[in-house]
Amino acid sequence: MIIRWKVQPDDCSFRETYLKCSEYVMANQPLTYFCTDLTLIGSLEREYEAWLAIEFYPEFYRKIQKTIYAAVVFSEDHFKALIVNYQLPADSQAHAAIHFNYFTSQEEAWFWLESIKKGHDTAVLPMAHEFLI
How confident is the model over 11-25, as pLDDT tens digits? 999 999 999 999 999
What secondary structure does DSSP assign to 25-41, as a single string?
HHHS-S--EEEEE-TTT
121: Cβ–Cβ under 8 A, 6 or more apart, which residues?
A: none
Q: What distance in Å separates the CA atoms of residue 31 and residue 53, rounded to the nearest whole number? A: 19
Q: Which pLDDT value is given to residue 124?
A: 44
pTM: 0.76
Which residues of the chain, if any, have pLDDT below 70? Answer: 79-95, 121-133
Distances, alpha carbon 37 to alpha carbons 23, 62, 71, 121, in Å: 20, 24, 8, 25
Distances, alpha carbon 69 to alpha carbons 92, 96, 119, in Å: 15, 11, 12
Q: What distance in Å separates the CA atoms of residue 52 and residue 58, rounded to the nearest whole number? A: 8
